[in-house]
Structure 1
Amino acid sequence: MMTEEFKEINPVLLELLAGLGIYGAAAGAAGMVTSGGSLYFLAGILAGLFFAVCLILNMYLTIDTALDLDPESANKYMVRRTLVRKVLTVLAAAVGIKIHMLTFSGIILGVLGIKIAAYLQPLIHRRVSERRSGRNEEVESKMN
């Protein structure tokens, strides 16, 4: 039942979220070591990663909606949605600064995870594709 729901989700989106998870684990672990185990940093990185997931989903839905619009309306819609994301990012950073500098650092590192996830996505896609083709070959060899 759960796999049927995942099949409906764009595989690139899932790979991007997986990349964000990998980055989040690495950045969180490294940050906890360098910050001396600060709960402020931990809260910031978790908030930043959650915010990054929200931004990725918003971008995905924005693109999906814009594809159904005429070019001029799509351009205006994309610009508006981009501005909203930027303003929300600045607000999240401002909240982080008010709480603690390590919280701010964690939020920024979490949000920057979108960029790292974009670089990891092709690698994840390649690994997933290799596994799928490997499974298909394995199944075919067992059938023969």
Structure 2
Amino acid sequence: MIKALKRLNEALPGLLLGIAIYGLIVEFAGVWFVSDKLRYTSGLWIGIACAMGMGIHLAMVIEEAVRMGDTGTKRLSFKSVLRYLVVVFVFFIMMYFHLGNLVSAFIGVLGLKVSAYVQPFMHKMIFKDIAPEESTNEQEEEVKL
């Protein structure tokens, strides 16, 4: 499955891992401060699932945009708006059936943004020992010229 995600977008597995780690941190930090722990937890993980779905869909839309080039910008714009409409629909379903806390679900969806900002640093931290720098003095001199 990770290979399929990497085939779609090289950074996608790291993004999804970051969203999951964010969800665990928010879960363990916030569950102690709420009275309704079940609704907090279910809302948070519904939001985390939405964030992961949004990340995968975003990667699919980017890949499609690269394939299509300049044609079909209306279609790509529609898909981007559709992504947010699906999240709003999920929130309405949550509210109607009392499936979770709406605020914690929104905090979960923010995991996509947090993970997008943290992912490059996390990638550097994880892979810094695996792929050492291959720069030589000759390459550095070529860059200076």
TM-score range, shorter chain: 0.7 to 0.9
Asked if 1 retains the 8 angstrom alpha-carbon contact of 2:43 and 2:101, the reply is yes
Q: Is the contact made by 1:46 and 1:110 (CA closer than 8 Å) also made in structure 2? A: yes
Instruction: Confirm or deny: 8 A CA contact 1:66 1:77 kept in the other structure.
Output: no
Divergent runs of 4+, >2 A: 2-11, 95-102
2:128 aligned partner: 130
- The answer as to whether partners of 1:48 and 1:111 remain within 8 angstroms in 2 is yes
- Looking at secondary structure, tell me which structure has more helix per residue: 1
Q: How does 1:81-100 map to 2 (within 5 A)?
A: 81-100=79-98
| Counterpart position of 1:104 | 102
Structure 2 partner of 1:139: none
What are structure 1's unaligned runs of at least 5 residues? 135-144
Could you tell which deviates more after superposition, 6-15 or 118-127?
6-15
Equivalenced residue count is 133
CA distance in 1 between counterparts of 2:51 and 2:82 reads 14
Q: Calculate percent identity across the aligned residue pairs.
A: 24
2:21 partner letter: I
Q: 1:7 to 1:58 in 2, by over 3 A?
A: closer
Q: TM-score, normalization: structure 1?
A: 0.79
CA distance in 1, matches of 2:19, 2:90: 18
Compute the TM-score of the two structures, normalised by the length of structure 2: 0.79
> Do 1:92 and 1:107's aligned partners in 2 also have CA atoms closer than 8 Å?
no
